[in-house]
Amino acid sequence: MKLPNVTNSERYGGLYVFDFGPWTAVGYTAEEITILLESERYRDGQVYKIVRATPDGQMELRGVPRERFQLESGMFFIRNDLSAAQADFETLRRLGQTQGAPCRAFVQLAERGAGEGVARYVTALIYPAEYEDEMARWLLATGYAGGDTVEGGVSHVSDYYAEAKTILERQQLWSQPAIPSRLPEEVLNSVRRAAQR
Protein backbone atom coordinates (compact mmCIF):
# COMPACT_ATOMS: atom_id res chain seq x y z
CA MET A 1 0.00 0.00 0.00
CA LYS A 2 1.35 3.40 -0.97
CA LEU A 3 0.05 6.39 0.92
CA PRO A 4 -0.48 9.63 -0.98
CA ASN A 5 1.50 12.73 -0.01
CA VAL A 6 -0.61 15.12 2.04
CA THR A 7 0.00 18.63 3.32
CA ASN A 8 -0.41 19.36 7.03
CA SER A 9 -0.31 15.65 7.75
CA GLU A 10 -0.56 16.10 11.52
CA ARG A 11 -4.23 17.08 11.13
CA TYR A 12 -4.96 13.54 9.89
CA GLY A 13 -4.37 11.92 13.29
CA GLY A 14 -7.47 9.99 14.36
CA LEU A 15 -8.83 9.75 10.81
CA TYR A 16 -8.73 6.68 8.56
CA VAL A 17 -7.02 5.36 5.45
CA PHE A 18 -9.02 3.20 3.04
CA ASP A 19 -7.11 0.86 0.77
CA PHE A 20 -9.27 0.27 -2.28
CA GLY A 21 -6.71 -2.13 -3.80
CA PRO A 22 -5.58 -0.24 -6.91
CA TRP A 23 -5.44 3.06 -4.98
CA THR A 24 -5.50 4.42 -1.44
CA ALA A 25 -7.29 7.43 0.05
CA VAL A 26 -6.46 9.23 3.30
CA GLY A 27 -8.64 11.28 5.64
CA TYR A 28 -11.95 9.51 6.19
CA THR A 29 -14.00 9.76 9.38
CA ALA A 30 -15.33 6.60 11.03
CA GLU A 31 -18.83 7.34 9.71
CA GLU A 32 -17.46 7.70 6.17
CA ILE A 33 -15.60 4.38 6.49
CA THR A 34 -18.90 2.76 7.46
CA ILE A 35 -20.48 4.15 4.28
CA LEU A 36 -17.70 2.62 2.18
CA LEU A 37 -17.88 -0.75 3.92
CA GLU A 38 -21.65 -0.90 3.51
CA SER A 39 -21.40 -0.26 -0.23
CA GLU A 40 -21.36 -3.33 -2.48
CA ARG A 41 -18.49 -1.99 -4.56
CA TYR A 42 -16.03 -1.19 -1.73
CA ARG A 43 -16.97 -3.64 1.03
CA ASP A 44 -13.72 -5.61 0.60
CA GLY A 45 -11.44 -2.62 1.14
CA GLN A 46 -8.89 -2.56 3.95
CA VAL A 47 -9.17 0.01 6.75
CA TYR A 48 -6.39 1.61 8.79
CA LYS A 49 -6.66 4.15 11.57
CA ILE A 50 -4.09 6.94 11.61
CA VAL A 51 -2.86 6.63 15.17
CA ARG A 52 -0.29 9.38 14.83
CA ALA A 53 0.81 11.74 12.07
CA THR A 54 3.92 13.93 12.14
CA PRO A 55 4.60 17.24 10.39
CA ASP A 56 7.12 15.56 8.06
CA GLY A 57 4.32 13.45 6.51
CA GLN A 58 4.91 10.17 8.33
CA MET A 59 1.88 8.30 9.61
CA GLU A 60 1.58 5.50 12.11
CA LEU A 61 -1.29 3.21 11.09
CA ARG A 62 -3.21 0.45 12.85
CA GLY A 63 -5.29 -2.02 10.87
CA VAL A 64 -8.97 -2.09 11.78
CA PRO A 65 -11.13 -5.13 10.92
CA ARG A 66 -14.28 -4.15 9.04
CA GLU A 67 -16.42 -5.94 11.65
CA ARG A 68 -15.33 -3.33 14.18
CA PHE A 69 -17.54 -0.77 12.47
CA GLN A 70 -20.63 -2.87 13.18
CA LEU A 71 -20.02 -3.37 16.92
CA GLU A 72 -20.69 -1.45 20.09
CA SER A 73 -18.28 -1.17 22.97
CA GLY A 74 -18.74 0.26 26.40
CA MET A 75 -17.53 1.00 29.88
CA PHE A 76 -19.46 -0.18 32.89
CA PHE A 77 -19.07 1.58 36.23
CA ILE A 78 -20.29 -0.75 38.95
CA ARG A 79 -21.46 0.17 42.45
CA ASN A 80 -23.28 -1.43 45.36
CA ASP A 81 -24.61 1.91 46.59
CA LEU A 82 -27.49 3.56 44.68
CA SER A 83 -26.55 7.16 45.54
CA ALA A 84 -22.97 6.62 44.32
CA ALA A 85 -24.29 5.03 41.11
CA GLN A 86 -26.69 7.96 40.61
CA ALA A 87 -23.76 10.36 41.03
CA ASP A 88 -21.79 8.40 38.38
CA PHE A 89 -24.72 8.65 35.98
CA GLU A 90 -25.29 12.35 36.65
CA THR A 91 -21.60 13.17 36.14
CA LEU A 92 -21.52 11.39 32.77
CA ARG A 93 -24.78 13.06 31.73
CA ARG A 94 -23.44 16.50 32.67
CA LEU A 95 -20.08 15.90 30.94
CA GLY A 96 -21.90 14.83 27.79
CA GLN A 97 -24.02 17.98 27.82
CA THR A 98 -21.32 20.48 28.73
CA GLN A 99 -18.28 19.08 26.92
CA GLY A 100 -19.81 16.80 24.31
CA ALA A 101 -18.71 13.21 23.91
CA PRO A 102 -16.30 12.33 21.08
CA CYS A 103 -19.07 10.33 19.36
CA ARG A 104 -22.72 9.53 19.75
CA ALA A 105 -23.22 7.42 22.85
CA PHE A 106 -25.74 6.67 25.53
CA VAL A 107 -25.53 6.24 29.25
CA GLN A 108 -27.87 4.16 31.39
CA LEU A 109 -28.19 3.58 35.11
CA ALA A 110 -29.43 0.06 35.71
CA GLU A 111 -30.27 -2.07 38.72
CA ARG A 112 -29.24 -5.69 38.42
CA GLY A 113 -30.90 -8.53 40.24
CA ALA A 114 -29.48 -9.21 43.68
CA GLY A 115 -27.16 -12.17 43.86
CA GLU A 116 -24.03 -13.53 45.44
CA GLY A 117 -21.02 -11.58 44.24
CA VAL A 118 -23.07 -9.38 41.86
CA ALA A 119 -22.80 -5.63 42.33
CA ARG A 120 -26.28 -4.22 42.28
CA TYR A 121 -25.98 -1.02 40.18
CA VAL A 122 -24.20 -0.29 36.92
CA THR A 123 -23.76 2.92 34.97
CA ALA A 124 -23.29 1.83 31.36
CA LEU A 125 -21.62 4.08 28.78
CA ILE A 126 -22.14 2.49 25.33
CA TYR A 127 -20.76 3.78 22.02
CA PRO A 128 -19.56 2.58 18.58
CA ALA A 129 -16.56 0.28 19.02
CA GLU A 130 -14.34 2.22 16.62
CA TYR A 131 -14.31 5.09 19.16
CA GLU A 132 -12.78 3.18 22.09
CA ASP A 133 -9.55 5.21 22.04
CA GLU A 134 -11.37 8.54 21.82
CA MET A 135 -13.80 7.67 24.61
CA ALA A 136 -10.98 6.56 26.90
CA ARG A 137 -9.10 9.83 26.23
CA TRP A 138 -12.28 11.84 26.84
CA LEU A 139 -12.91 10.17 30.20
CA LEU A 140 -9.29 10.72 31.23
CA ALA A 141 -9.33 14.36 30.12
CA THR A 142 -12.52 15.07 32.05
CA GLY A 143 -11.19 13.35 35.19
CA TYR A 144 -14.16 11.00 35.37
CA ALA A 145 -13.61 8.35 38.07
CA GLY A 146 -16.87 6.47 38.45
CA GLY A 147 -17.51 3.02 39.81
CA ASP A 148 -16.00 0.89 42.55
CA THR A 149 -15.24 -1.57 39.76
CA VAL A 150 -14.96 -0.81 36.04
CA GLU A 151 -15.35 -3.24 33.15
CA GLY A 152 -15.21 -2.52 29.46
CA GLY A 153 -15.15 -3.81 25.92
CA VAL A 154 -17.32 -5.31 23.21
CA SER A 155 -18.10 -8.56 25.04
CA HIS A 156 -19.30 -6.68 28.13
CA VAL A 157 -21.87 -4.85 25.97
CA SER A 158 -23.29 -8.19 24.80
CA ASP A 159 -23.41 -9.41 28.39
CA TYR A 160 -25.10 -6.19 29.52
CA TYR A 161 -27.82 -6.47 26.87
CA ALA A 162 -28.46 -10.12 27.80
CA GLU A 163 -28.64 -9.73 31.58
CA ALA A 164 -31.82 -9.14 33.55
CA LYS A 165 -31.93 -5.56 34.77
CA THR A 166 -34.17 -2.58 35.38
CA ILE A 167 -33.18 0.67 33.65
CA LEU A 168 -33.53 3.46 36.21
CA GLU A 169 -32.30 6.37 34.08
CA ARG A 170 -31.07 6.89 30.52
CA GLN A 171 -29.53 9.70 28.52
CA GLN A 172 -28.42 10.04 24.90
CA LEU A 173 -25.06 11.81 24.49
CA TRP A 174 -24.47 13.73 21.27
CA SER A 175 -21.13 14.54 19.79
CA GLN A 176 -19.80 17.67 18.19
CA PRO A 177 -17.02 16.25 16.03
CA ALA A 178 -14.10 18.47 15.12
CA ILE A 179 -14.33 17.06 11.59
CA PRO A 180 -17.91 16.53 10.44
CA SER A 181 -18.68 13.56 8.22
CA ARG A 182 -19.91 14.04 4.68
CA LEU A 183 -23.12 12.71 3.16
CA PRO A 184 -22.98 9.24 1.56
CA GLU A 185 -23.19 10.66 -1.98
CA GLU A 186 -20.19 12.91 -1.35
CA VAL A 187 -18.15 10.04 0.09
CA LEU A 188 -18.93 7.67 -2.77
CA ASN A 189 -18.34 10.32 -5.44
CA SER A 190 -14.91 11.27 -4.11
CA VAL A 191 -13.27 7.85 -3.70
CA ARG A 192 -10.60 8.59 -6.34
CA ARG A 193 -9.38 11.65 -4.46
CA ALA A 194 -6.19 10.64 -2.61
CA ALA A 195 -6.56 13.23 0.19
CA GLN A 196 -10.15 13.33 1.39
CA ARG A 197 -9.54 16.42 3.53
Each residue's pLDDT, cut to its tens digit, for the chain (197 residues) gives 888 888 888 889 889 999 999 999 999 999 999 999 999 999 999 999 999 988 888 899 999 998 888 899 999 999 999 999 999 999 999 999 998 898 999 999 999 876 666 679 999 999 999 999 889 999 999 999 999 999 999 999 999 999 889 999 999 998 877 788 899 999 999 999 999 98
Side-chain-facing half-sphere of 90: CA atoms under 13 Å: 6
Say if residue 105 is in the same domain as residue 23: no
List the beta bridge partners of residue 94. Answer: none
Say if residue 16 is in the same domain as residue 58: yes
Residues spanned by the domain of 100: 70-173
String of b and e for 82-99 (b: at least 16 CB within 10 Å)?
Answer: eebbbebbbbbbebbeee
Cα separation of 177 and 181, whole Å?
8
On whether residue 86 sits in a domain, the answer given is yes
pTM over 0.75: yes
On whether residue 197 sits in a domain, the answer given is no
On whether residue 2 sits in a domain, the answer given is no
Q: Domain total for the chain?
A: 2
CA 138 from centroid of its chain's CA atoms: 11
Say if residue 118 is in the same domain as residue 165: yes
Say if residue 168 is in the same domain as residue 77: yes
40 CB-contact burial (10 Å; exposed 0-12 / middle 13-18 / buried 19+): exposed
